[in-house]
């Protein structure tokens, strides 16, 4: 998503995966670890979004990739 007018309006979200991650795919340790799968960090003057994409596990093996990109914020 992006905002051409400083946050007053936003473009439509773009789905990055073919199927959203299902809650039952997530590891569990006293509850599902949902917040562990996305983040926004800052490095100097750059923004670094981090997110995970997954497909259904097979047996006890998880299938997940974690992605990040270093972006210069719009001013």
pLDDT digits (tens, 9 = 90+) for 14-56: 877 777 777 777 766 776 666 666 788 888 888 898 888 878 8
- pTM score, two decimals? 0.53
Number of domains in the chain: 1
User: Does the residue 5 lie in any domain?
Assistant: no
Number of helices (H), then strands (E), belonging to the chain: the values are 0, 3
pLDDT of 32:
63
CA dist., res. 35 & res. 75, Å (int)? 29
- Say how far apart CA 32 and CA 54 lie, in whole Å: 15
Task: Please name which of 47, 54, 38 lies closest in space to residue 75, comparing C-alpha atoms.
Answer: 47
12 located within any domain: no
Within a domain: residue 2? no
Q: Could you tell me the pLDDT band of residue 11, with boundaries at 50, 70 and 90?
A: very high
HSE (CB half, 13 Å, CA atoms) of 70? 4
């Amino acid at each position: 998503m992006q905002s051409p007018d400083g946050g007053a309006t936003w473009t439509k979200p773009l789905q990055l995966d073919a199927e959203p991650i299902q809650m039952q795919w997530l590891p569990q340790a006293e509850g599902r670890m949902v917040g562990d799968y996305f983040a926004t960090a800052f490095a100097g003057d750059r923004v670094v979004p981090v997110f995970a994409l997954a497909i259904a596990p097979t047996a006890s093996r998880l299938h997940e990739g974690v992605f990040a990109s270093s972006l210069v914020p719009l001013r």
